Structure 1
């Protein structure tokens, strides 16, 4: 059966180069996003490492410019961290726009999943600085991924997190009071604590 695809699926010619990250062209559209706190963590990790530890994938266009297909955030982090050069894999095979998009999307979407039990074991073995560097938090210990960016609509939401600690008998009294408040105001979600 003949392919009806308009994309050229020939093997790619690729070479490794060190390039100035400020010269790399960003794709006009990139569906992959990163929350500001995660990007800040990425920048800090790049500063600590003194380099990118994964390569950026770019393609060489007819005009000689290099266009990012995978690694937009890593490139931006490298620039912000002040790296003069980054390692890049350069696709030298001429690419159609559809092939560029297909590669971009595949790099953003085809990835593995974590074994939650093993992830928790690995994370628990780290000291506090290594845990910070990992970009994870203690929710991995319970297997709770917490609300991801998708659940929050990818929005840049500012929030405050409160943690209450009670003695067992005080917790029961607090829960009774909270239930009483909830019954009085069924339309609203109320969280209260004595001052």
Structure 2
């Protein structure tokens, strides 16, 4: 009787489930582990369990204890109780068997709770893992990399300060002149689902890389993405300077004159004419080409 009273003082009954089982608030320092326990847990897993319990402030599943000879012994939940203690908890909610189990029956239930635990369907585990979008949740789940697969592709991003954003892929291939089957090429490139596919002569690849490297030095930008962004801004600014508009059809002067170079003396004369036209207000810096149009119009009119 004294032993039963001693055990009763170790917990506070909350609910009687019937058939000799109760739910109770238990003092952790009154709970004793079994002398031997076949179920083991790796240290990193135990540490994660401790972190989970500490974060939650309580156990998320109830251990099963047994009242035996005035002592509360663990049948199932050794690792949960160990982590609860490590997390600094003083009491837990547990299920207690007060039906008076024999030592043989306690051993039987201990083995059963360890052995009859089922197994996970890997495909379903992967589907559940896809729901994880927070690195703390990934850590808490303690699912291995062999199951994580696709969710782990986001793991490194989640570990670093970041924001969620959409992105697009651009594929630009430099090809030798011998490549003729462009339909097959484009079909092959589309398999990677880029947003834009560009094709240029193979020889221009080296020029592109060299130009990019020179621009990085010129602008003192080491990041390739930032350098390309700056190059795009420069081109955009240049188009704005000449008054380019998307809704108008434009062409290159080279296409008209057959060359992009003229004699230096001729260039000097044209430059003077442009400056005079700007000063007179006939043209602006954004539409210098209109001087050519004006002269051409006068010529066609016979003036």
Fold conserved (TM > 0.5)? yes
Choose which of 126, 131, 135 in structure 2 pairs with 1:125.
Answer: 131
Aligned to 1:98: 104
Query: Larger % of helix: which?
Result: 2
Runs of 4 or more consecutive aligned structure 1 residues displaced over 2 Å after TM superposition = none
Q: Deviations over 1:142-170 (max 9, x none)?
A: 5xxxxxxxxxxxxxxxxxxxxxxxxxxxx
- Is 2:35 aligned against 1:28? yes
1:85 Cα deviation from its structure 2 partner: 1.1
**Does the CA contact (< 8 Å) of 1:12 and 1:92 recur in 2?**
no
- Is 2:118 aligned against 1:112? yes
Q: Deviations over 1:54-93 (max 9, x none)?
A: 111111112x210111111111100000112111111101
Instruction: Give the structure with higher Rg (CA).
Output: 2
Q: Counterparts of 1:1-195 in structure 2 under 5 Å?
A: 12-62=19-69, 64-127=70-133, 128-142=135-149
In the aligned structure 2, how far is the partner of 1:26 from the partner of 1:34? 15
1:138 Cα deviation from its structure 2 partner: 2.6
In the aligned structure 2, how far is the partner of 1:22 from the partner of 1:139? 39
Count of residues paired in the alignment: 132
Q: Deviations over 1:94-128 (max 9, x none)?
A: 11111000000000010121111110111122022
Give structure 1 stretches of 5+ with no counterpart.
1-10, 143-195
Give structure 2 stretches of 5+ with no counterpart.
1-17, 150-303
Query: Larger % of strand: which?
Result: 2
Q: TM-score, normalised by structure 1?
A: 0.64
Answer 1 or 2: higher relative contact order, Cα 8 Å, separation at least 6: 1
